[in-house]
Chains A and B, each alone.
Chain A
Amino acid sequence: MVMQHPLYGVLAEFENTEDLIAAVRRVREAGYEKIDAFTPFPVEGLADAVGFSASRVPVVTFIGGLIGCLGGFLLQYYPNVSGYPLDIGGRPENSWPAFIPITFELTILSAALATVFGMLALNGLPTPYHPVFNAPRFQLASRNRFFLCIKARDPKFNLQAVRKLLAGLRATDVTEIAF
């Protein structure tokens, strides 16, 4: 490369999901890896098409649930058995059936918190600044337009080739986005 571009990538706009998915497939076939698509609602199969394999959110949820479950039980076991045991007519100190409701509630609470914060963290949100917002028409990504971005850090990235590829893909608008 002759000149250092402060270029984030090239953004192409599409009118509907079919055109977008077709374009994503063609761009992937052409060998581009660092791409992303932006849509106003979740589109089935699009994440697969851009090369996203498996979400780790369920793992985070499971770990959160496990921590809540064990923590919830120990929270009740400790005071009743060793912290402040009370002998009431010889009843068992570890009366586990009575501990189930709170254990259950804390499992759900912890799993739900893990799910939400895990999802946000994996998505890198909050993101106060992102280059795609520099594209003048990008605000339509939350209304009725579908976007495809080929990032400049893709090893195959070449501005002329990318523009040419996107122009042949029913894109209604193609813009370069700066950092």
Chain B
Amino acid sequence: MEPETPRTQRVPASGGALLAPGHTYGSVTDKISAIVLTRGTRKGWWFGFLITFALVMMLNYALASVVIRGVGLFGINIPVGWGFAIVNFVWWIGIGHAGTLISAFLLLMRQKWRTSINRFAEAMTIFAVSCAGLFPLIHLGRPWLFYWLLPYPDTMGVWPQFRSPLVWDVFAVSTYATVSVLFWFVGLIPDLATLRDRARNRLAQIGYGIFAMGWRGSAVHWARYEMASLLLAGLATPLVVSVHTVVSFDFAIAIVPGWHSTIFPPYFVAGAIYSGFAMVMTLAIPLRKYYGLEDFVTMRHLDNMAKMLLATGLIVAYGYMMETFMAYYSGNAYDRTMIVNRMTGPYWPLYWFLILCNIVIPLTFLWSPRIRRSVRALFVISLVVQVGMWLERFIIVVTSLDRDFVPSSWRMYYPTGWDWMTFIGSIGLFLTLFYLFIRYLPMISIFEMRELVHKTAEEATGS
């Protein structure tokens, strides 16, 4: 083996290294591409994939039944017309937001630690948005007429109601899905070229070659590429904020007590990032262990993500506090009743469990550096936060609707088996897509890791 010039050095222990010492351009390339090219399909992968794929089959069965027999299979009723479908939609789309934030916002902020987590965080975004997109569609009741939401010159001359937040949502979510895919694909091009050049089997060479589009790493191409990435990051950052703002408008524009609030947009965006970072952590912790990527996704990354959880968790806590305070301060009887109903009404255990999961547990433990350095503790906390964020959406949707303005129309909402099957099935779909992604695409951006080796070596020599 020929010697290679730059080599990452040991970094002073202060913050912990972003990359373990001793890595070269060649070693990072070989290690990440080997996961896709030479590692093969192992038993563990098949085991996980088959379980999640079985869940996808369950999802297909549930969706087909709902399409054939109608949304009456779900637990929705009047007044609770928005059940699991909307809860799941908001939960999934929120999870997606951390991926865009890591890839776009942290790029603009020149945060080097994003490098080894941005690729799979972006993949997570795309898969989460795919799951999210399913739910409003089936919730339509007649999903085959979804194109009525799009503006096209139809024979009746009728147009969508452009003043409705539900139509804004169609544009926001489809723009978000498109831009996320573009951003992800642009990031993949140089890595696909690496895989094309390193693949030893003809099919892989051709497959990766087609999508690499003849990328050859020309200096001029890189200059335009870097500019395009920067511009995309600049576009995606306001986009990600706008998407969850529009999602919150679905609620906030309505006059339902508990929804009609100006705090919703910032509080939804913070909640989205909160649950998204939790999901990145849930995925990163097993990935780094099973694929031996501790050199690349270091404790420093986990620590930084834990701090992000702490920061967004505090914003979410502030949101809960203000929501309660404003209900009291408004002097509005309906608003006050709604909050009292949330805390002490029929769904009270869920409300307090949500506070436990979202506020008490994470905001107590994440302050401790010892816990932020414990992989197991972080994994458990990340799962707890996701449960909490799902419950938050459940509480917002259901407890605002079940006690309608007129007590005679009050009705409880209970999910049915079909609700659970679509929800759990969507988790299966997400994980299936993720299994395919880690098998066939590099889960860490290879060229950015080489760049990181270069920069780390430069810093070490003090040039």
Q: Footprint of B on A, CB under 8 Å?
A: 15-17, 36-43, 46-47, 49-50, 52, 55, 57-58, 61, 75-76, 79-80, 83-84, 95, 98-99, 101-102, 104-106, 108-109, 111-113, 115-116, 118-120, 122-123, 125-130, 132-133, 138-144
Beyond A36-B218, A57-B231, A141-B217, 19 additional pairs, beta carbon < 8 A: A15-B4, A38-B217, A39-B217, A40-B217, A41-B447, A42-B223, A47-B219, A55-B227, A57-B228, A75-B162, A84-B157, A95-B163, A105-B246, A111-B235, A127-B216, A142-B194, A142-B198, A143-B30, A143-B198
Which residues of chain B are within 8 angstroms of A43 by Cβ–Cβ distance? 219, 222, 454
Once the chains are docked, how many angstroms separate the CA of A116 from the CA of B5? Answer: 34
**In the assembly, what is the distance between CA of A90 and CA of B146, in Å?**
30
In the complex, which range does the number of interface residues on chain B fall in?
35 or more
Contact with A along B1-17 (1 / 0, CB 8 A): 00011100000000000
Identify B226's interface contact among A42, A76, A98, A144, CB under 8 A.
A42
Which residues of B are found within 8 Å of A128, using beta-carbon distances? 214
Pick from B168, B213, B249, B451: contact of A125, CB under 8 Å: B213
Query: Once the chains are docked, how many angstroms separate the CA of A79 from the CA of B238?
Result: 28
Evaluate contact between B222 and A144: CB separation under 8 angstroms: no
Q: What CA separation (Å) do A113 and B236 show in the bound complex?
A: 12
A144 with B24: CB separation less than 8 A:
yes
Residues of the B chain whose Cβ atoms lie less than 8 Å from the Cβ of A144? 4, 24-26, 29, 450
Q: Can you list 19 pairs linking A and B with CB atoms under 8 Å apart?
A: A39-B222, A40-B450, A42-B225, A42-B226, A47-B222, A57-B228, A79-B159, A84-B159, A102-B168, A108-B175, A112-B235, A112-B236, A115-B228, A116-B228, A119-B225, A140-B197, A143-B197, A144-B4, A144-B24
CB distance from B148 to the nearest CB of A (A): 14
A16-B6, A139-B198, A141-B216 known; A101+B246 contact, CB < 8 A: yes
Main secondary structure of the interface of A (DSSP, over half): helix
With both beta carbons as reference points, the residue of chain B lying nearest to A145 in the complex is identified as: B25
Contacts of B198 in A (CB 8 A): 139, 142-143
Q: How far is the CA of A101 from the CA of B244 in the complex (A)?
A: 12
